Amino acid sequence: MKEMLRKSAVELAAMLAAGEVTSVELTTACLDRIEALNPRLNAFLYVDREGALATAAEIDRRRAAGEELHPLAGVPIALKDNMVARGMPTTCASKILEGWEPPYDATVVERIKAAGLPIVGKTNMDEFAMGSSTEHSAYGPTLNPWDTGRIPGGSGGGSAAAVSAFMVPLALGSDTGGSIRQPGAVTGTVGAKPTYGAVSRYGLVAMASSLDQIGPVTRTVADAAALTELIGGHDPLDSTSLTDEVPALSAATAAVHEAGTVKGLRVGVVRELTGEGYQPEVQAAFDATVAQLREAGAEIVEVSCPSFEYALSAYYLIMPAEVSSNLARFDGMRYGIRVEPTEGPVTAERVMAATREAGFGDEVKRRIILGTHVLSAGYYDAYYGSAQKVRTLIQRDFDRVFEQVDVLVSPTAPTVAFEFGSKMDDPMAMYLNDIATIPANLAGVPAMSVPNAVADGLPIGFQIIAPARGDLKMYEVAQLVEDLSGDIAGQCPAQTWEEN
Ligand code: GLN
């Protein structure tokens, strides 16, 4: 592996600015590694060598001409395949969108292009972001670079694997119930879900609109901060977009790194998100990091959020309800494939049925059916209505404990990466992976996973949750946790893999 691929995005940006490397050299190194490793990992569904190198060359030219550039200009990035970018297919890892090329750029993509980051390609995921292992991709699973017999998490397993295997320093993910954070935890990468509305969802193919949020996938907290500053901020094209200024995350993390502490920090350990159900190694790593935070000067308080017990149930009513509505647009008329019935009349309804039968995988069908059921007239109050009440109770739990503490912490995922096939026959077992990540989505608050340990060769993640609009504090604590835990991403064994 080329030495420069080991560097963080912020370090690479400095090297580019100093003229120690060109964007073409760096982008070529990434593309070569992607080409060499992708047959083994299946992290990318599409690679845009030509487009990425064209951007890189353009940035090198502008830099040589002395133009003022964005700090991350020339640093390559990958996109989860549910964000639309002109000139590349978007599949959401579904057969139904095979061959579809979007006619526009997502707002995040527009900002990335304007800043001059070469986009190397689109990463694998569970179909329409439904899953926790990337096994639900219609194009085959992504393998975990730490152990290729194990899952890289989901739904954003492709972005997490690409970053952890040093194929690219930056990637974007989307998090509806944990799809940035849980893959982060099981691949030793940093993943953040910003406050709902802090990053535009325009051009993100919707899964569950009231929960979806785009965020960074990186190997360091400082990189996540820098990327969030680039993609964040108000967007008139997203009606739920916040009008707040993007907080100065990079400056805040640099200050914490320098000081080695966060002054006056009060940390809440959520009783409901520890203990039973958490693998002993995961629990031990969590306890050790909490002890280190205490030594670093933080006040540690145990808090209780009793409604969190019902978060998973509420999520699996609200999310499928929104899924069933959002995915109604894939009807064989407007996007992607169109399948006509093999016999009988070719009516709109029958084309729709044949297209959806052929185009959607089992998990997507399961959720659409569940969603239409919970929204049906006779069951609406019992299921969807009750779930919305639980959602309010969860938000109240957060409000109450955030009067006492600055951030909440928990393990990100209940276990380390599990083996392929071990949860595919049992949807409930798969859903349990998100037990600790879902409350933040239901309340719209920011949450982040930072690698904090390695046990038996597999990484573990530490979750930090902050109040809505409290992203800055979350990043400060994340930086502290990273500094206390050491370079976990740097231990990924994939770095020794030969590239040819
Ligand atoms: N794993 C969760 C699910 O299957 C979360 C998905 C996501 O965040 N996109 O719904």
Q: What is the pLDDT of residues 166-223, one digit of tens each?
A: 999 999 999 999 999 999 999 999 999 999 999 999 999 999 999 999 999 999 999 9
Across the strands, what pairs with 3?
none
> Is 179 near ligand 1, meaning CB less than 6 Å away?
yes
- Torsion sign, CA atoms 199, 10, 191, 171: positive
Q: How many whole angstroms from 475 Cα to the centroid of ligand 1?
A: 23
Please name the residue whose Cα sits nearest to atom 4 of ligand 1.
131
Alpha-helical (H) ranges within 232-279 are 249-259
Q: Say what the pLDDT of residue 428 is.
A: 86
Q: Where in the chain is the domain with CATH 3.90.1300.10?
A: 3-260+484-496
SS (H, E, C) 41-110: HCCEEEECHHHHHHHHHHHHHHHHCCCCCCCCCCCCEEEECCECCCCCCCCCCCHHHCCCCCCCCCHHHH
Ligand 1 centre to CA of 244 (Å) is: 27
Indicate whether 461 pLDDT > 80. Answer: yes
Q: What is the Å distance from ligand 1's center to 280 Cα? A: 24
**267 within ligand 1 shell (Cβ under 6 A):** no
Ligand 1 centroid to Cα of residue 125, in Å, is: 10
Judged against a pLDDT cut of 90, whether residue 429 lies above it is answered with no
pLDDT at position 231: 98
Check residue 82 and give its pLDDT.
98
Catalytic residue among 94, 132, 164, 179: 179
176, 319, 326: which to mutate for ligand 1, most atoms within 8 A of CB?
Answer: 176
In whole angstroms, give the CA distance from residue 43 to residue 271. 35
Q: One of 7, 8, 80, 307 is an active-site residue; which one?
A: 80
pLDDT score at 44: 98
Question: Catalytic: 193?
Answer: no
Local confidence band at 368 (pLDDT 50, 70, 90 cut-offs): very high
Q: Which atom of ligand 1 is nearest to the CA of 175?
A: 8
Peptide bond into 155 cis (omega under 30): yes
Q: Is the pLDDT of residue 465 over 70?
A: yes
Q: Does 207 sit in the ligand 1 pocket, CB within 6 Å?
A: yes
pLDDT at residue 500 greater than cutoff 70 = no
> Catalytic: 179?
yes
Q: Is the CB of 131 under 6 A from ligand 1?
A: yes
Q: Are residues 80 and 70 in contact, defined by beta-carbon separation less than 8 angstroms?
A: no
Is 80 catalytic? The answer is yes
With a 6 Å cutoff on the Cβ, whether 436 touches ligand 1 is: no
| Segment 462-487 mean pLDDT | 98
- In the reported structure, the alpha carbon of residue 175 is separated from the centroid of ligand 1 by a whole-number distance in angstroms of 7
DSSP code at position 337: -
Q: Which of 8, 94, 155, 164 is catalytic?
A: 155
Tell me the mean pLDDT in the region 91-104: 96
Q: Edge-to-edge strands of the sheet including 170-174?
A: 44-47, 119-123, 77-80, 170-174, 214-218, 190-193, 447-455, 458-465, 407-411, 266-270, 299-303
Which ligand 1 atom sits nearest the alpha carbon of residue 433?
1
- When pLDDT is cut at 50, 70 and 90, the band that residue 498 belongs to is confident
The answer, as to whether pTM is greater than 0.75, is yes
Say how far apart CA 13 and CA 8 lie, in whole Å: 9
The CATH topology of domain 3-260+484-496 is Amidase signature (AS) enzymes (3.90.1300)
Query: Helix 249-259 crosses helix 471-485 at what angle (to 10 degrees)?
Result: 40
Q: Is the CB of 247 under 6 A from ligand 1?
A: no
Here the tokens at position 187 are: 């691949």
Average pLDDT over residues 422-427: 91
Report the residue among 130, 174, 327 best suited for mutation to probe ligand 1: largest number of ligand atoms under 8 A from its CB: 130
Average pLDDT score, the chain: 97
Q: Judge if the beta carbon of residue 178 lies within 6 A of ligand 1.
A: yes
Residue that wins the pLDDT comparison between 499 and 157: 157
By mean pLDDT, which of 10-24, 123-137, 278-292, 485-499 is the weakest?
485-499
Give residue 154 CA to ligand 1 midpoint distance, Å. Answer: 7
Ligand 1 pocket test target in 179, 204, 423, 435 with most atoms within 8 Å of CB: 179
With a 6 A CB cut-off, is 132 part of the ligand 1 pocket? yes
* Distance separating alpha carbons of residues 377 and 367, to the nearest angstrom: 18
Ligand 1 centroid distance, CA of 460 (Å)? 19
* CA–centroid distance, residue 134 to ligand 1 (Å): 10
Does 175 contact ligand 1 (Cβ within 6 A)? yes
How confident is the model over 231-252, as a mean pLDDT? 98
| Closest atom, ligand 1, to C-alpha of 208 | 9
Cβ(176) – ligand 1 distance below 6 Å: yes
Pocket test for ligand 1, best of 92, 123, 125, 132 (most atoms within 8 A of CB): 132
33, 40, 92, 420, 429 from 83: Cα distances, Å: 23, 24, 8, 26, 28
Q: Find the 128 Cα to ligand 1 centroid distance in Å.
A: 9
Residues in the chain: 500
Rounded distance from Cα 444 to ligand 1 centre (Å):
15
